[in-house]
Structure 1
């Protein structure tokens, strides 16, 4: 039997591979595999971005907590170095004092997602509003760092 010719009574004549009833589907699996790989890469990229956002949030939380502890102890001089070392690069931080408490907020925006963490601490006895000899101000913003 020659290729491409139908033989009378041959049931396989409809299944010819020269564009018969089923058509030419050569390469179909390759296209499907390429689409699947693209989908997997997209899902992987989204997963990595989500993990990086979580890591950034944890770093902001850690930086805010450590900075609040330093402010509560009256060690304001070390706050900037600690925040820069712990927080993600480019993070902004603010220190707020109100009465005998201090709060530190660390924030950063990445890929349109705002990551923000705030930590509170009670000031140690004798700790003032940054210079050690003045009482804490009512809600004054003492430091804002871009």
Structure 2
């Protein structure tokens, strides 16, 4: 009975660690989504410097920002890697879209 209990506890530990890693990945994905949304909003208002700063502040560490603009349409992509190291193959990505506000200058956005 002792061996079964030890194996059961080991299995329970593995499942708990994987659940916690999943919650960490979910949280990082939500941070990427929030960062992309905020950057798109700021770019639409003509504030590219603030958009890059918002991504740096909101997104997970080492996240990258990609900006594509076609006319008034702005697409923002924020990409990051899973940061806990438990699930290294997971790559996080979020995309947000915005339309530039009339009269704003959006060229020169960092990308």
TM-score (norm 2): 0.89
In the alignment, structure 1 segments of 5+ residues that lack a partner are 1-28, 132-141
Q: Which string of whole-angstrom CA distances, capped at 9 and with x for unpartnered residues, describes residues 27-52 of structure 1? A: xx111111000000000011111111
Residues 48 and 106 of structure 2 are in contact (CA less than 8 Å); yes or no, is this contact kept in structure 1? no
Q: Do residues 143 (structure 1) and 83 (structure 2) align?
A: no
Q: Which string of whole-angstrom CA distances, capped at 9 and with x for unpartnered residues, describes residues 11-40 of structure 1? A: xxxxxxxxxxxxxxxxxx111111000000
Q: Which runs of 4+ in 1 moved over 4 A?
A: none
How many Å separate the matches in 2 of 1:37 and 1:124?
A: 57
- Flag the structure with larger Rg: 1
Partner residue, 2:102:
125
TM-score (norm 1): 0.69
Count matched residues: 106
Give the counterpart of 2:35 among 63, 83, 88: 63
Partner residue, 2:85:
none
Q: Do residues 107 (structure 1) and 79 (structure 2) align?
A: yes
Partner residue, 1:47:
19
Higher helix proportion, which one?
2
Shift of 1:130: 2.6
Comparing both chains, which one has the higher relative contact order based on Cα–Cα distances under 8 Å and sequence gaps of 6 or more? Answer: 2
Question: Secondary structure of 1:143's match?
Answer: coil
